[in-house]
Structure 1
């Protein structure tokens, strides 16, 4: 008997989505190419950190409605929720990499049936839903050519981008408004009806291209706002102005809402998605490109500041507080903190003590570089320089008296 849903990709988006559908009574098969992930989920456990996700997954698996597999299985609906990173090409160092989406889509071909709904959740460049349709039918043509006409006639395609924030995924998965963009109106409506099973927010219908661009626009807008704050922080450093006080005062204006600066921008969304817009219209996306460049440059500015401070010490010890891309999560994807720590280690600025309470081991990019993963109290007690990179709750609550005599570089305004 086929499942109700087959969710391809059991990461930060796919696993919560598969689990919440399962707890709402749907029979769900979750697919991942990593055997360890499949084994972990089938035990009712999780391989990523997210508040209350372990409870949801355990309930979904124990109910019998969720199981994980290495290969897609027949289902009424397929949801593709795999990564969409970027790659360097001859003409673009930040070109979209749709390898995972294409591979996942083609893997559906052997079990595709007339009337199926195929949904792309992965944040993708404009036109990806159409490309997904073409990849899938191309694969069917190779293996099941006689069935292609019936499938072309009846299979529906939609793009329903996620809008959830790490650390608040389960709450926002249910409460946030969503967009259902179909290659046809029927596809958009059918996807909307599916998500209504758990989504209490409004679900707006549109076409697939508008849905794709909307998700990219949301993240690019945030990126531009952060770039403005980051550029302000550099100017304020030059002019000897406290940027945190400046922003606090400027935001007292009723029509001003400046975001907070930081060491850069990380995560799979804001640090990546604007490049998808730039790639689609490089000669037009001038502001979006500049914002990305400002934010990508910020980690190098932080490294320069640490190096200047380190020159005051003979053999400096630097405590780097945080590796995640945002507070109170374990997600290190595109993290500027990781880049900063890596550059400090590569340039041998001093002894590097990394503090990240949400991971048990250093990421591979920091292995073998002399970086030591260290508890907070130990790192601060040994440090000459305390570099704040992430505003984890544990750091906010730290006893500031223990910072006396230390040089503090606070990229988050944590202790202002």
Structure 2
């Protein structure tokens, strides 16, 4: 199916649907709330009872600007409800996590996707639309369609473009493109890539997303849509790896990487990113491995970028150890543990892993500060303190440039600035 730009795409009617959002995490919960505000009847489905309970009370279990107010409104109006049992709906959006397995090339773990499919399959009726939003390797959406067909032989499920518009259940793919901290706004304004197992599935999914976003809607097939998301995040990962590798080279040559980048970026066609302690989060640190897993001999640059970024935490730890080993009385203050600034998201966070590693290497000598520390699991094992106390230690490690930390002066201490906090 050729790529079609639907900048002015409008369904013939602004159909209001009963939509089940499967997985109420960082993407699913804001998506459910925005769809409810758009006029749909939305049922949030999650297997975690505590998540369901918080949504029923109109509270968000995660930090996202504006989400608490929106949840309170749409739950009060009954536009959004929540359940821990698979509901009946006209459309299903699957927004569950797709992490990687350990081992060569970090193969993707799609168990949550298939568990979600298994849960909703008995509830499907003729005319249902199933859209996968979880970041997935190429071919996953077709696997979803085939799995539904196997589980529901009583329904005709289109499982390939050769089926054309045939099918009582349509399956499509549309990846999210939002950033924590601006999720609500970007859900309603970002362009959306929608790929269908069949053209009919793509058109139906596009009509649903037109009620969600004012951005462009771009239609394609499911395999292309899956790869678009991977290509976007691999592009970002490669660019970050370049900045991180520059920081390693500058350290070896005794140069100030922050000054080098600042000067280089005055070139009209150069925009080097900011180095950091590694790469974290649920996308950039994971998605490029999906490409590598499917093309291990070809995706050499993408694989190397992943190795550079995954190796940066070890470099940071070694720089800190050089200072801590100067004096057995030295204590360390770590600033920031989330995967990026000003969010409460610790998924795949290199900063959190660095803080834990240093705490294990120097027991009783490491304290950590983060304005979102309260969101850590109870068994985090770290000594959490206020920022002032962390800044007062003989050795200070800047890992995440939270706005709270940016207001502080560079301390009179041995400093390892891994994020450019005081560049």
TM tier relative to shorter chain? over 0.9
Deviation for aligned residue 1:201: 0.9
Alignment of 1:55-134 (within 5 A): 55-89=69-103, 92=104, 94-134=106-146
Which residue number in structure 2 is paired with residue 148 of structure 1? Answer: 155
Deviation for aligned residue 1:363: 3.6
> What is the CA–CA distance in structure 1 between the aligned matches of 2:151 and 2:416, rounded to whole Å?
54
Alignment of 1:363-374 (within 5 A): 363=377, 366-367=380-381, 371-374=382-385
* Secondary structure, aligned partner of 1:354: strand
> What is the CA–CA distance in structure 2 between the aligned matches of 1:341 and 1:218, rounded to whole Å?
29
> What is the CA–CA distance in structure 2 between the aligned matches of 1:245 and 1:257, rounded to whole Å?
13
1:50 and 2:46 correspond? no
Deviation for aligned residue 1:3: 6.4
- Could you tell me whether the CA contact under 8 Å between 2:264 and 2:270 is conserved in 1? yes
* Secondary structure, aligned partner of 2:117: helix
- Could you tell me whether the CA contact under 8 Å between 1:232 and 1:243 is conserved in 2? yes
Deviation for aligned residue 1:348: 2.3
* Secondary structure, aligned partner of 2:172: strand
Deviation for aligned residue 1:364: 5.8
Which residue number in structure 2 is paired with residue 395 of structure 1? Answer: 405
- Could you tell me whether the CA contact under 8 Å between 1:3 and 1:74 is conserved in 2? no
- Could you tell me whether the CA contact under 8 Å between 1:108 and 1:136 is conserved in 2? no
Deviations 1:178-199 (A, max 9, x none): 1011111111111111111120
* Secondary structure, aligned partner of 1:409: strand
> What is the CA–CA distance in structure 1 between the aligned matches of 2:378 and 2:262, rounded to whole Å?
38
Q: Which has the higher contact order (CA 8 A, sep 6+)?
A: 2
330-339 or 188-197, which deviates more: 188-197
> What is the CA–CA distance in structure 1 between the aligned matches of 2:36 and 2:86, rounded to whole Å?
17
> What is the CA–CA distance in structure 1 between the aligned matches of 2:402 and 2:245, rounded to whole Å?
23
Which residue number in structure 2 is paired with residue 322 of structure 1? Answer: 336
Change (3 A) 1:136 1:150: closer
> What is the CA–CA distance in structure 1 between the aligned matches of 2:92 and 2:358, rounded to whole Å?
44
Deviation for aligned residue 1:399: 3.5
Which residue number in structure 1 is paired with residue 294 of structure 2? Answer: 280
Change (3 A) 1:359 1:206: same
> What is the CA–CA distance in structure 2 between the aligned matches of 1:192 and 1:408, rounded to whole Å?
51
Which residue number in structure 1 is paired with residue 40 of structure 2? Answer: 26
- Could you tell me whether the CA contact under 8 Å between 1:342 and 1:365 is conserved in 2? no
Deviation for aligned residue 1:59: 1.1
> What is the CA–CA distance in structure 2 between the aligned matches of 1:84 and 1:150, rounded to whole Å?
24
68-77 or 292-301, which deviates more: 68-77
Which residue number in structure 2 is paired with residue 144 of structure 1? Answer: none
> What is the CA–CA distance in structure 1 between the aligned matches of 2:121 and 2:307, rounded to whole Å?
40
1:410 and 2:417 correspond? yes
Which residue number in structure 1 is paired with residue 196 of structure 2? Answer: 182
Deviation for aligned residue 1:128: 0.7
Deviation for aligned residue 1:365: 6.6
Which residue number in structure 2 is paired with residue 360 of structure 1? Answer: 374
Deviation for aligned residue 1:88: 2.3
Deviation for aligned residue 1:412: 1.1
Q: 2:282 aligns with which of 262, 268, 271?
A: 268
> What is the CA–CA distance in structure 2 between the aligned matches of 1:19 and 1:395, rounded to whole Å?
32
Q: What TM-score comes out, normalization by structure 1 length?
A: 0.93
> What is the CA–CA distance in structure 2 between the aligned matches of 1:230 and 1:69, rounded to whole Å?
43
Deviation for aligned residue 1:349: 6.8
Change (3 A) 1:198 1:76: same
- Could you tell me whether the CA contact under 8 Å between 2:158 and 2:170 is conserved in 1? no
Which residue number in structure 1 is paired with residue 179 of structure 2? Answer: 165
* Secondary structure, aligned partner of 1:204: strand
- Could you tell me whether the CA contact under 8 Å between 2:189 and 2:215 is conserved in 1? yes
User: 5+ unaligned residues in a row in structure 1: which ranges?
Assistant: 142-146
> What is the CA–CA distance in structure 2 between the aligned matches of 1:305 and 1:223, rounded to whole Å?
23
Deviations 1:198-242 (A, max 9, x none): 201101001111100000000000000000000000000111111
- Could you tell me whether the CA contact under 8 Å between 2:20 and 2:93 is conserved in 1? yes
> What is the CA–CA distance in structure 1 between the aligned matches of 2:158 and 2:76, rounded to whole Å?
35
User: 5+ unaligned residues in a row in structure 2: which ranges?
Assistant: 1-15, 160-166
